[in-house]
Amino acid sequence: MQPELDKVESFLLKIEQNEETVFSQHPDYVLYPVVPFFQLVHIHNIEQVIENLLRFESTLGGFLIRVDGYITLACPESSVLEDDLRRLTIQLLEVMRF
């Protein structure tokens, strides 16, 4: 029996699976860098930050992936409203504790 993954491991696995999906099935999606990936290493409240990152997917209808060192939202251009993207980014930055 496999051990249960914690939230961080589940998040990283989800990102990896999203990358396969985006690059194979949705190469025309627009990429919106959200936050440098390396910053997640220094976060004290990582589980809360992961919850906020996942809101990008549920709210904007895309996939979180890693691109050029950033956690990046990949989604159809038509599904992104600038105000929503800005609001989610500000909420994420307000929650982060280093």
Judge whether 20 and 67 are in contact, CB under 8 Å.
Answer: no
- Residue 81 — pLDDT band, cuts 50, 70, 90? confident
pLDDT of res. 3 = 64
Please give the model's pTM, rounded to 2 decimal places: 0.89
Share of the chain above pLDDT 90, in %: 81
Q: Region 54-67: what's the mean pLDDT?
A: 95
Mean pLDDT confidence for 20-29: 96
